Amino acid sequence: MANDLPSLTKPPRRIVVKLGTGVLTSGVGQLDEARIRSIADQIHGLRVAGTEVIVVSSGAVGLGMGRLALKRRPQEMAKKQACAAIGQSLLMQVWQAAFATHGTHVAQILLTHDDLRLRHRHVAASETLEQLLAYEVVPVINENDTVSAAEIRFGDNDTLSAMVASLARAEHLVILSTAPGLIDMKGTGHVVPVVEKITPEIEAMAGGTTSETAVGGMISKISAAKVALRAGCGVFIASGAEPEILTRLFSGEGPGTFFVPQGLAMESRKRWIAYFQRPTGSIAINACAVPVLREQGRSLLAIGVTGTVGRFNVGDIVDIVGPDGTTIARGVARYSDREIAGIAGRTTEQVRPLFPGRRRFEVVHRNDLVVL
């Protein structure tokens, strides 16, 4: 059944296609090679039409489970890492074979959260992607599960795909899974064709996953959509089992859910601050400071600060939280949490003599601040 998805008047410049384990496999450890070839054929068609395509592919852990005859996804980190190490090369072999029929090369990129969080590695990853696309190669990205510890994990490939879409400044993110889209389980029972805004009601429609090889479910897809939308990237969620799904989505005829982007593209450093960081702590502000940041685009001064949560140092990334507990911005702290304790609520004239060696007295400067 076709939905009222957007019909694109011209091919998008760049997209990210994320494929879940359920799309790529026909059972634990069994790749659905026919489906992968079909997806590769569709991606080839998009590339011929002028669209650059980046693939985020799950499946490595599941493939490793199959080779080890494991029926359940291991809970121990070392066992999951071992499965990933076994499965990743198998996964890439199948992708290369699928694209080889079109004379196209693929490139493997394995990422941890630190690769996008640390600025120099973030820039390196971005430049590598750009060069691969310039070479007309299809990047195939996965989380580096073999080495990813809890503190540097993305958590799931839905989140990874959204961050890659932001990193690459993609126009669209397509998340293909076993789900046909966002289903209104408490209402019509049908797929919601278009989501203008992710509200609490939309989030309530999401559910997890019961698959032994997958991670996440619709909850993680909605969370990923939030990240991509804020970066100005439209998001499709659709079933990878649908025939010619990519071709149909970009002609406006495909079944699925389209999330309308709300954000505007931002320059790269602010994008890095907003979407690739794990804040160390937070700064609480009063009601008067909220419109100063949101509407006037000004810096955060000490007079608007009411307190802090967590420990952080100068240069750390922090959330800025309004009086109702809502995170309204993120930025680079110019004072530590201990310093802020002594200046919260003070005017700049009162702060200046306390730090005679400093030239700037903003708690977070507007050039280092992104409204979320």
Q: What is the mean pLDDT of residues 325-341?
A: 94
Q: Which tokens go with 32? A: 């659905």
Residues belonging to the chain: 372
pLDDT tens readout for residues 210-253: 444 344 578 889 999 998 988 889 899 999 999 999 998 887 77
CB-CB contact of 211 with 21 (8 Å): yes
pLDDT score for 148 = 62
CA 331-334-340 angle, 5° bins = 105
Residue 238 DSSP symbol = E
Within a 10 A sphere around the Cβ of 217, how many other Cβ atoms? Answer: 20
Q: Indicate the range of 188-192, 228-232, 318-322, 353-357 predicted with least confidence.
A: 188-192
Residue 363, H or E segment: none
Could you tell me which residues come within 8 angstroms of residue 220 by beta carbon, excluding any fewer than 6 positions away?
155, 156, 158, 159
Domains along the sequence of the chain with CATH: 14-269 (3.40.1160.10), 279-371 (2.30.130.10)
CB-CB contact of 95 with 236 (8 Å): no
Q: What CA–CA distances, in Å, run from 309 to 174, 227, 282, 292?
A: 36, 23, 5, 21
Could you tell me which residues come within 8 angstroms of residue 186 by beta carbon, excluding any fewer than 6 positions away?
204, 205
pLDDT score for 63 = 87
Residue 172, H or E segment: strand 172-177
pLDDT greater at residue 315 or residue 52: 52
Query: Helices (H) and strands (E) in the chain — how many of each?
Result: 14, 15
Per DSSP bridges, beta strands 25-27 and 30-31 are: antiparallel
pTM above the 0.85 mark?
no
Residue 308 has pLDDT above 50, yes or no: yes
pLDDT greater at residue 310 or residue 61: 310
Residue 150 has pLDDT above 60, yes or no: no
